[in-house]
Amino acid sequence: MTQSNVESTSRTQEFQSLNTSILVKTVWLSINLITNILICLTVFVCIVYACSSTTIDAYHLHIILCVLGYQFFMCQGIMVLSKYNSWSLFLKRIDRRRIHFILQTIAVVLVTVGSCLIIREKNEHFNTIHGSVGLCALITSLTSLANGILVTYANRLSRLNVFWIKFIHYVTGVCSIFLSAFSLCAAFRIEHFSMWTGNIGVDSILIFITCLFTVFVSINFWIFTGNIICKLCWSVLHPNL
């Protein structure tokens, strides 16, 4: 092969890999844009519903605080860690981690206050799917925050402990957004909400949207878990390597 042929082949390969990475980046950024639009839409509808009453009592505050906490701050707190999150695209990794910690703390404060307000209002507790799943979401988010604080001191612990603390932090974080999404979907089926939307199937559309953006928010976690499983399988199948 002549010198010019070699150069042209390597230039073609370079061009192809550049094209692929542009395609991958475009797909990731599009998913991120769609996710942000769906989150804002859902949070907006819930806040309009909560504010549609003449008086804002504990029930309405509960809706505003829980939806803002879980579906806005917690989801943004997870997405900020992604390389392809639009509003944090040009931030350094360390700054993205700091913002993650701040957003998660705000989220946990909001959802704890929001849940306590409604628990104080009711006489019988956790007797609905919405309420009991909401309680599980609160427990997992508190556990995730506690683990997140432990991760900050991780360099003082052994490598194995660090791995498990981080893993539990990721798992509980993802569980809390799935559980809160489940609780929210159950809330959309509450009669008063369906009547407010006019019983024309808006609740089903909101359930679909909530499920979709929750899966999109957790995409990085599934990729990370998939990688760990692949590595574990590889080390089991090739113990001598």
Contacts of 175 (CB under 8 A, 6+ apart): 140, 144
Q: Which stretch binds ligand HEM (CB under 6 A): 80-88, 117-125, 165-173, 200-208?
A: 117-125
For residue 89, the 8-state DSSP code is T
In whole angstroms, how far apart are CA 235 and each of 8, 25, 87, 167, 230?
39, 31, 38, 19, 9
17/12 Cα distance (integer angstroms): 9
25 counts as binding ligand HEM under rule CB under 6 A: no
- Report the nearest approach of ligand HEM to the CB of residue 90 (Å): 31
Q: Which stretch binds ligand HEM (CB under 6 A): 80-88, 99-107, 128-136, 217-225?
A: 128-136
Among 172, 164, 150, smallest CA distance to 221 is for 172
Q: Identify the residue among 6, 18, 34, 190 touching ligand HEM (CB under 6 A).
A: 190
Site for ligand HEM in 70-109 (CB under 6 A): 70
Taking a C-beta distance cutoff of 8 angstroms, is the pair 60, 93 a contact?
no
Q: Which stretch binds ligand HEM (CB under 6 A): 24-32, 116-124, 163-171, 221-229?
A: 116-124
- Report the nearest approach of ligand HEM to the CB of residue 92 (Å): 32
184 counts as binding ligand HEM under rule CB under 6 A: yes
- Report the nearest approach of ligand HEM to the CB of residue 214 (Å): 10
Longest dimension (CA), the chain: 84
C-alpha angle 70-140-130 in degrees, rounded to nearest 5: 60
Taking a C-beta distance cutoff of 8 angstroms, is the pair 35, 79 a contact?
yes
Interface residues toward ligand HEM, by CB under 6 A: 46, 62-63, 66-67, 70, 115, 118-119, 122, 125-126, 128, 130-131, 134-135, 137, 180, 183-184, 187, 190, 193
